[in-house]
Amino acid sequence: MPVRRRSRRVAVAVSLALMVALVGTIAIAPSAGARRAIISKNYYLSSSTFSRAGSPYAWRFSVSKSSFGASLSVSASRKMDNGNLVQSHSWSFSLPSSAVTVKSDLSSATVGTTDKMAPFGKVDMKFSPSKKAVKSVSKCPKNGDVLSTTYNRQGAFSGTFRFVPNDPGLPDVVKRTKIGGTAQKTLTTDATCSYPETCTSSSTSLLVYNSKGSLSVFRSGKRTTLSFSASESMAPASIYHSIQASGLPKSAFSWDQTGDAVVNTSGAAPFMGKTTLKTNGSNKQHPASKCTEYTTWTEKWKTGKVVGKFDTGDVTLTGSTISGGLYQRVA
């Protein structure tokens, strides 16, 4: 009998030990949607679009600041054909962190470029909010972990905005003393999230390029989109030019089973010259992914050219230096 009583006490002790271990395990296990550590804080200031008398462009500027530094971008875009044709230009400048100040609650922010943009002018403006901050949270759909939290606050900028494009195809100077805008703060956590591959409809795309610029062509269903881009540098600015023509007919982009592609840019006039570019496809590859199969070809220039007719000057893709790739995806 004493042995049996001792056995029961041992069994109870073991059971209690297992319960304590289990409770301890449950207590330290991270729960779904648990608070995660913040690993970065980024601020973003953005003006509303505004016009300049005598110019067809809509102008705006934006500023970003992080632990890596600050930068300012000025952009201009104009549209034709109900927005299906868009020509855009942007100028980006690196700034010291001290050039941008933002209060944590977005109650105030300042931008002071001093001479860091010369000879492209300067921006010396203060942001004042007119509404309370609006909070939005991005979570991982799989486990509910918070990926980032963003605060947006509407208001206006006041002070000096004076931008000099330094290009004869654009206004000599763009000035403003008051502009609507927003201030944003984003807190990113250390959470990670995996997403399943998204199966999309069938599409075909082409990219051709050389040292002067690039042309991207995308077709899905009965519509084709052409995107032409070119970049240049004029210290201290990095300058980017782009043209996009959307809603073009299916016939604007064709290819055959050998991968040879033909692009007709007539639908992009007057932002692109009315010409036809032909390429030779080779090196056919036919791998498959989770929900699609696709084929790729290596492209080389054959005949024709593409001319981006920017207000800042024409940029031409032509000659044997053009190369790229054709990609066909079948859902």
> Could you read off the pLDDT of 221-240 as tens digits, one per residue?
889 999 999 999 999 999 99
What does the mean pLDDT of the chain come to?
Answer: 88
Confidence band (pLDDT; 50, 70, 90) for 34? low
Q: What is the 3-state secondary structure (H, E, C) of 293-319?
A: EEEEEEEEEEEECEEEEECCEEEEECC
| Neighbour-count burial of 109, counting CB atoms closer than 10 A to its CB (0-12 exposed, 13-18 middle, 19+ buried) | buried
Contact 44, 181 (CB under 8 A): no
pLDDT, residue 165, reads: 97
Alpha-helical regions (H) of the chain: 2-28
pLDDT, residue 49, reads: 98
Instruction: Please determine, for residue 22, whether its predicted confidence score (pLDDT) is greater than 80.
Output: no
CA dist 223 and 246 (Å) reads 8
CA dist 316 and 272 (Å) reads 10
